[in-house]
Chains A and B, each alone.
Chain A
């Protein structure tokens, strides 16, 4: 139990000249749920596929349970369960046939376990995979990954396509895996999901780990992005003075302010109430951008200078605030 569940040192992968990941350092201890958070294309799948020896590193090294994925591939695969990001399956098989096939490759009879997991995910194993919806295929993926109770579960965007109720059941399954002392490495582009299930999170951007942090710390900070649309042009400076506000951006029309708020938004609301307010929106879906801005800010001494605030990641939001306010990702306060 001394080995780390997953460790990477300077893990780097180039596809020709194109960078996949560069210098990824991870240390996932056994028994924890580790979130691997980042937008599509950040290098999450590349990292995961390196762990499983599907692709080979350009530089650096990875180990799973202290084993070299390349040299001790069989041993690693015996002890790991995996759901690929691009999940494709044998469409002419039923879910049960697929599970039996893989169980037989493991030299085990896992019918009971497969049925147990499938039941909990509300999946009918006796239909052809070709006829399944995306969500049901994802459930088959989860079932085959979990049925042999692996010591390390490596899940690449496992909840895509799952409806909210099944997601909750999946989170419960992950909780159980953790309480039995096993490890989960879960990639996601959804911060709320990582917040819900993970103990620690690494945020990846452009092939690099930008932040590794305890989820509890992230939660305590409760950083969010708040967008307020006023009936007239508003001076952002009074908002910049507030303790909870770390960053303020004005939209082109000067009547919309987008700010990063840590903790209670009470004083922001009170300040806003001195103006005519049309709408207030709190963004959830792109929270990791907020975190990144936040950490970047910490690095540069907690500046609130408008000219330096905002990264490339949220450039789209800034250029078109009215649209983001109506987007489905946003939730009114």
Chain B
């Protein structure tokens, strides 16, 4: 299992580096806007006030006035706007290539002729994905930790740890979902497509639910709700949210192992 883990990470070393650079650029650019926003706080506040509430909600902005604070800005951009979607994409990519990718490449036959169980392959591949996601999230944490004192962002350590752990768990949840779908179907395209559709649905339910009374309860079913429960960048880790993510991951992995062990491979 350790061999599968290390080989998978090694296979992905280049793409992981690009992910790291991309996330750092996103964080850097977001923070770079902060000083100008801070200086023109009033103007921005009235700008956001004039925007429709629904639009802001979909983009993860619940209270426009918080946007002019560093926590509000970084949180809305990186930890509830673009960031989660991008990291969900990373997780889905890793998850769908874990089993389905290997199967479609035709290499699964050869791998399964070695003394490894199917369970070990699923868990080894998932552990590798966890490490890659961990590296990407850690680099995001790193760049914010460096910029924090330089730009006077006033982030707390617990806030930064909380936000990044939660973000990583969100990516892992989508990764586990795609892993299960791929392990069950063996088809990468189908897996990626369905996972992306599910992600988009979750994202919009979470964004629109606050505006529509009837579907407000559905928010709790989306990982994006638990990502911001309640704003970990400001408040640190929330145990309930962590439990929800870990539970969802465990459930997905169980389904992945169960279905993969019970089906024909490569037909």
Residues of A participating in the B interface, judged by any CB pair closer than 8 Å: 15, 49, 52-56, 73-75, 77-78, 80-82, 84, 86-90, 92, 101-102, 104-107, 141, 144-145
Contact = CB atoms under 8 A, between A and B. Distances in A.
B240 interface: no
Contacts of B112: 52-54, 77
Interface stretch (B102-110, B167-175, B198-206): B102-110
Nearest to B4: A105
Which range holds the interface residue count of chain B? 20 to 34
B15 to A, nearest CB: 11
Interface stretch (B41-49, B87-95, B139-147, B259-267): B259-267
A54 B264 contact: yes
B113 interface: yes
A86 B109 contact: yes
Interface stretch (B78-86, B114-122, B149-157): B114-122
A52 B116 CA distance: 12
Nearest to A89: B107
B106 A86 contact: yes
Contacts of A54: 109, 112, 264-266
* Most chain A Cβ neighbours within 10 Å, of B7, B115, B263, B267: B115
Nearest to B264: A55
B106 A105 contact: no
A32 to B, nearest CB: 21
Contacts of A74: 115-117
Nearest to B265: A54
B50 interface: no
Nearest to A46: B267
A105 B3 contact: yes
A55 B105 contact: no
Contacts of B110: 82, 84, 87-89, 102, 141, 144
A161 B12 CA distance: 31
B157 to A, nearest CB: 39
A88 B109 contact: yes
Given A52-B112, A55-B265, A101-B7, A90 B117 contact: no
A181 B105 CA distance: 35
Contacts of A141: 110
A35 B266 CA distance: 24
Nearest to A102: B114
B11 interface: yes
Contacts of A87: 106, 110
A104 B112 CA distance: 14
Given A88-B106, A89-B107, A55 B115 contact: no
A105 B265 contact: no
Given A84-B113, A89-B110, A92-B11, 20 more contacts: A15-B267, A52-B109, A53-B112, A54-B109, A54-B265, A55-B267, A74-B117, A78-B115, A82-B109, A84-B106, A87-B106, A88-B106, A88-B107, A90-B11, A101-B3, A105-B3, A105-B115, A105-B116, A107-B115, A144-B110
Nearest to B1: A105
